[in-house]
Amino acid sequence: MALDKDVLDQLLDTLGRFVREKLVPLEHKVAEDDAIPPEVIAAMREMGLFGLSIPEEYGGLGLSMSDEVQVAFQLGQTSPAFRSLIGTNNGIGSQGIVIDGTEEQKQTYLPRLAAGEIVGAFALTEPESGSDAGSLRTTARRDGDHFILNGTKRYITNAPQAGLFTVFARTDLESRDARGVSAFLVEAGTPGLSLGPIDKKMGQKGAHTCDVIFEDCRVPASAILGGKEGQGFKTAMKVLDRGRLHIGAVCVGLAERLIRDSLSYAMERKQFGQPLAEFQLIQAMLADSRAEAYAARCMVVETARRRDDGQNVNTDAACCKMFSTEMVGRVADRAVQIHGGAGYIADYGIERFYRDVRLFRIYEGTTQIQQLVIARNMIREAA
Ligand code: COS
């Protein structure tokens, strides 16, 4: 259900101000400290940002996808680390429960995720299984009315902070593909669950990933998401459909921020006796960025609307993810070019965004996986 227009406008207005006045001034510090200050986390909890996509009956704001992308356009206007903190509770760390969870699982976890009391994480990727998610090797061996988990998950976003992991593991030990995979809800602190050291990343400092290791980690059968074995891979794919659209929206926000910064620099900085913005070769870069960001915005808005209408947006969400993430890469590259030497120097923050946006083309399904999803669906529809 969509929020009342006035309520949504108010939320977007408050969020816009929060981003401009509180988050943007902290960008450099968050990158330097590799941490988001606790008062910012508290303010994000207060604004309900951890529960944007969680239904109201479980304590969230219950935003429609159309509303959620508007929020992501705003939150995208600053360092992605801020968005990442709330990203898993609204996306991959909660949506499995929202979409496929039992009523009891929803009651147990969604209110705490919505309040930001716990952080959720999505444990799919493994050392030997990334794009080929269906080939994962983590096992869940049945032992009476329990399962025993063994395996390692890799690059798990927010794992160092997480209170709840949605873990994908093979319950059909004979299987090799997606069909033998189930999803489990595993709480942090469960004996046998441990974390590796925090990964040193290229960018997005302040957002953390690490390995999650399961060694004879015993969980009750009631921890199976939705209560049904063998459904885990489908749950993962449904969660990613939604996540990919959200990432597309974040990239639009970031591109718009970079275009604004590039334009104001180009209007201020003078060379050959006039502002950079007067040079047609600079104008071409600004115009290309503007048109591409606008195209991405339109795609995201339209796909969100169609998803809210109940249509299958698997292909379109992949189109949005692919186009928007590649688009923001080009926009960030032009932003560095327009800033010239200043674009390469840390003080201006442009090189930081250039590194930050690189991740978007990789996680929640690489560009190549989106191409594959799009083309496979095209062939299937035509057949
Ligand atoms: N919604 C619902 N069900 C879906 C689905 C979706 N979006 N996509 C696939 N499925 C179902 C299929 O219908 C199929 O079901 P049946 O066995 O009943 O026919 C099952 O899931 C397996 O699908 P498929 O045969 O397409 O699986 P593949 O192993 O070929 O994998 C890709 C498909 C490559 C698309 C998938 O592995 C993928 O998305 N990989 C990238 C993973 C990723 O994004 N990782 C990022 C890290 S997580 S942040």
Taking CA atoms only, the protein residue closest to ligand 1 atom 41 is 131
- pTM score, whole prediction: 0.96
Q: Phi and psi dihedrals of 60, rounded to 5?
A: -95, -175
pLDDT at 53 > cutoff 90: yes
> How large is the angle between the packed helices 5-18 and 65-75, nearest 10 degrees?
20
Taking CA atoms only, the protein residue closest to ligand 1 atom 49 is 364
Give the distance (Å) from ligand 1 centre to CA of residue 17: 39
Rounded to the nearest angstrom, the gap between the alpha carbon of residue 277 and the centroid of all alpha carbons in its chain is 34
pLDDT, residue 1, reads 63
- The model's confidence at residue 3, banded by pLDDT at 50, 70 and 90, is confident
Token pair for 281: 């070769």
pLDDT at 170 > cutoff 90: yes
**What distance in Å separates the CA atoms of residue 118 and residue 110, rounded to the nearest whole number?**
10
**Which of 84, 168, 234 has the most ligand 1 atoms within 8 A of CB, as the residue to mutate?**
234
- The model's confidence at residue 4, banded by pLDDT at 50, 70 and 90, is confident
Average pLDDT over residues 156-183: 96
Give the ligand 1 atom nearest the CA of 133: 37
Rounded to the nearest angstrom, the gap between the alpha carbon of residue 102 and the centroid of all alpha carbons in its chain is 24
Query: Where do the domains of the chain lie?
Result: 5-114, 120-230, 234-382
- Identity at 331, one-letter amino acid code: V
Place of tokens 């949005």: 320
Query: What region, left, alpha or beta, does residue 90 occupy, with left being phi > 0 and alpha being psi -120 to 50 degrees?
Result: alpha
Q: 305-355: per-residue pLDDT in tens?
A: 999 999 999 999 999 999 999 999 999 999 999 999 999 999 999 999 999
**How many Å is the Cα radius of gyration of the chain?**
21
Question: What homologous superfamily does CATH list for 120-230?
Answer: Butyryl-CoA Dehydrogenase, subunit A, domain 2 (2.40.110.10)
In 10 A of CB 130, how many CB atoms? 18
pLDDT, residue 5, reads 87
Same fold for the domain at 120-230 and the one at 234-382?
Answer: no
pLDDT exceeding 70 applies to what percent of the chain? 99
Q: 180-226: per-residue pLDDT in tens?
A: 999 999 999 999 999 999 999 999 999 999 999 999 999 999 999 99
Mean pLDDT (the chain, rounded)? 96
CB 90 within 8 A of CB 53: yes
* DSSP for residue 345: S
- Identity at 21, one-letter amino acid code: E
pLDDT, residue 381, reads 96
Give the distance (Å) from ligand 1 centre to CA of residue 130: 12
Give the ligand 1 atom nearest the CA of 177: 29
Q: Phi and psi dihedrals of 209, rounded to 5?
A: -130, 155
pLDDT, residue 33, reads 97
Query: What region, left, alpha or beta, does residue 286 occupy, with left being phi > 0 and alpha being psi -120 to 50 degrees?
Result: alpha
| CATH 3.30.565.10 describes domain 234-382 | no
pLDDT at 112 > cutoff 70: yes
Rounded to the nearest angstrom, the gap between the alpha carbon of residue 38 and the centroid of all alpha carbons in its chain is 21
**Which of 100, 233, 319, 380 has the most ligand 1 atoms within 8 A of CB, as the residue to mutate?**
233
- In DSSP terms, 218 is beta-bridged to 148
pLDDT at 137 > cutoff 80: yes
**What distance in Å separates the CA atoms of residue 270 and residue 282, rounded to the nearest whole number?**
12
Show which residues are catalytic: 364
Rounded to the nearest angstrom, the gap between the alpha carbon of residue 41 and the centroid of all alpha carbons in its chain is 17
Residues within 6 Å of ligand 1 by CB: 92, 122, 124-125, 131, 133-134, 178-179, 233-234, 237-238, 240-241, 314, 363-365, 369, 372-373
Give the distance (Å) from ligand 1 centre to CA of residue 131: 10
CATH number of 5-114: 1.10.540.10
Q: Phi and psi dihedrals of 259, rounded to 5?
A: -65, -40
Task: State how beta strands 270-271 and 181-187 pair.
Answer: unpaired
Give the ligand 1 atom nearest the CA of 233: 21
